[in-house]
């Protein structure tokens, strides 16, 4: 695969912008109805747009356009010239791998099974290499939309799990897809399929997007990183695509034949977009716009239609904005006393500068019992509060205890490396010892692998 490329600008025209309000503006919104008669949200299936799935068989649970009888040629997505080499220079020696290979006559299904093994063992670096090889091997049909998009989504997510490689995923997403609202990615369908389509007023016809919704959201997040202004990501470009996705969510919800499950699906998607828009505005330092947008959003949403997951995200957004009182008020909304509410309360104490209360609250959660995954995050937050409280030795023992217990996520190693810098003249040696400890436990690739920056090397 080439490490460089040249590509002519696309001459395809984008679909015309529809004359309607943005997804955060409408008051009489079909997505704001009460969901009291709708099945509860299964938050366990929700994933970040950049998180790898654990298996090729774990396809997105959301409806896609793969069954549309249209042989759309995706040959441009299988061109090796559009992919970058994956360097390992910024990965510690202990975590580097020998890139996998595939034989010229290897069937794609055999390769997919190998990919499953890498994903299930969280060996995301090997998975990133292998997905690129499969895509460029010639064994994948350019009309097999489902497989092509799955492999690309997996590659982008695996690359993004490494801080030093995320820029490759961002660049490839822009090279391969360009403007995802371009009419090339839409196909005409009959009006009878309008519940899964959008209307193009310029052509007076119905069309559907061939890229599944979740993948488009992932592409948007990545492409935003490639547009910069003054050396920083230009969030305005990303906002445009988020608004387009929001418009689609509204149009889908207008279908009279929509089931209650599908209504909940599009409602949750719109709420997720609300959070992404707010975080983008904050990153752009448009804090007043973010405050006003969140206030209007909360005023329009029926309390019963606000999922617990979205409520948690809104609380975190309010904390980022420094509005502690509003965050507390939202957290106290019914139903009170949920496990997630108890996890957020210490964060409100931290935002308020009350570290002693936060320490006590985190300890109470641990005493009441927490899942292994949550316990790791809680203990790390506890360690940060202990540090701010001046209890350095307790902070160090808590973080090192997490490593001894088998935890090895990025913020943990970064925080521990920072503590070494603050407390020892041998910080570099201690960081290298930490790398060695984790690699000897066979955890080098788990939870997304490690970059030099994760250890402040």
Quote the pLDDT of residue 5. 42
Using DSSP's 3-state secondary structure scheme, residue 221 falls into helix
Quote the pLDDT of residue 155. 97
The tokens for 114 are 């190998």
How far lies 254's CA from each of 23, 262, 314, in Å? Answer: 14, 11, 26
Q: Which residues contact 133 (CB under 8 A, 6 or more apart)?
A: 100, 101, 102, 111
Q: Name the residue with tokens 């559907």.
A: 208
**123 contacts 444 by C-beta, under 8 angstroms:** no
Rounded CA separation 154/172 (Å): 13
Q: What is the pLDDT of residues 290-315, one digit of tens each?
A: 999 998 888 877 666 677 778 888 99
Helices (DSSP H) in 184-307: which residue ranges?
213-224, 235-253, 260-283, 287-300
Check the CA dihedral 418-423-428-432 and report its sign. Answer: negative
Name beta bridge partners: 187. Answer: 208
Q: What is the pLDDT of residues 194-223, one digit of tens each?
A: 444 554 444 334 467 889 999 999 999 898
Quote the pLDDT of residue 250. 83
The rounded average pLDDT for each run of 10 residues, N- to C-terminus, in the chain (457 residues) is 44 39 32 31 42 49 41 90 94 90 89 93 92 94 93 96 92 93 77 43 57 92 81 76 86 81 86 90 90 86 71 90 90 69 87 93 87 85 93 93 88 92 93 89 56 90
Using DSSP's 3-state secondary structure scheme, residue 71 falls into coil
Q: Which residues contact 379 (CB under 8 A, 6 or more apart)?
A: 362, 366, 398, 401, 402
Using DSSP's 3-state secondary structure scheme, residue 187 falls into strand
The tokens for 229 are 């202004």
Using alpha carbons, select from 240, 234, 250 the residue that is nearest to residue 181.
Answer: 240
Quote the pLDDT of residue 16. 41
Rounded CA separation 237/225 (Å): 10
Using DSSP's 3-state secondary structure scheme, residue 14 falls into strand
Rounded CA separation 274/23 (Å): 8
DSSP string, 117-155: HHHHTT-HHHHHHHHHHHHTSS-S-TT-HHHHHHHHHHH
The tokens for 450 are 């490690």
Quote the pLDDT of residue 410. 86
């Amino acid at each position: 695969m080439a490490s460089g490329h040249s590509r002519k600008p696309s001459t395809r025209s984008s679909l015309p912008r529809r004359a309607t309000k943005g997804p955060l503006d409408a008051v009489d919104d079909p997505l704001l109805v009460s969901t009291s008669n709708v099945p509860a949200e299964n938050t366990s299936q929700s994933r970040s747009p950049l998180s790898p799935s654990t298996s090729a068989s774990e396809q997105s649970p959301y409806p896609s356009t793969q069954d549309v009888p249209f042989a759309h040629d995706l040959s441009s997505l299988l061109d090796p010239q559009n992919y970058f080499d994956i360097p390992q220079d910024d990965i510690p020696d202990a975590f580097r791998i020998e890139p996998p290979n595939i034989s010229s006559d290897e069937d794609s299904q055999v390769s997919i099974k190998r990919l499953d093994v890498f994903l299930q063992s969280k060996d995301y670096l090997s998975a990133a290499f292998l997905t690129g090889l499969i895509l460029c091997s010639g064994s994948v049909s350019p009309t097999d939309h489902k497989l092509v998009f799955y492999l690309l989504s997996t590659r982008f997510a695996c690359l993004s799990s490494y801080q030093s490689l995320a820029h490759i995923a961002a660049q490839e997403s822009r090279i391969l897809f360009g403007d995802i609202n371009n009419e090339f990615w839409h196909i005409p369908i009959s009006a009878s399929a309008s519940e899964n389509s959008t209307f193009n007023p310029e052509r007076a016809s119905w069309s559907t997007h061939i890229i599944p919704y979740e993948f488009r959201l992932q592409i948007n997040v990545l492409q935003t990183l490639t547009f910069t202004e003054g050396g920083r990501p230009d969030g305005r470009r990303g906002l445009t695509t988020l608004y387009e996705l929001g418009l689609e969510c509204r149009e889908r919800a207008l279908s009279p034949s929509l089931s209650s499950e599908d209504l909940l699906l599009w409602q949750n998607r719109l709420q997720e977009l609300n959070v992404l828009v707010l975080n983008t505005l904050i990153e752009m330092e448009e804090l007043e716009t973010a405050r006003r947008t969140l206030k209007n959003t909360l005023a329009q949403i029926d309390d019963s239609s606000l999922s617990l997951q979205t409520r948690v995200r809104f609380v975190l957004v309010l904390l980022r904005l420094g509005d502690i009182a509003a965050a507390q008020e939202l957290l106290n909304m019914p139903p009170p006393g949920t496990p997630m509410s108890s996890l957020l309360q210490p964060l409100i104490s931290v935002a308020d500068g009350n570290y002693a209360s936060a320490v006590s609250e985190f300890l109470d959660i641990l005493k009441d019992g927490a899942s292994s995954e949550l316990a790791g995050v809680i203990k790390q937050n506890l360690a940060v509060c202990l540090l701010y409280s001046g209890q350095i030795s307790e902070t160090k023992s808590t973080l090192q205890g997490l490593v001894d217990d088998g935890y090895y996520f990025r913020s943990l190693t970064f925080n521990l490396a920072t503590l070494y810098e603050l407390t020892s003249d041998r910080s570099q040696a201690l960081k290298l010892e930490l790398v060695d400890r984790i690699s000897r436990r066979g955890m080098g690739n788990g939870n997304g692998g490690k970059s030099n920056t994760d250890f402040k090397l």
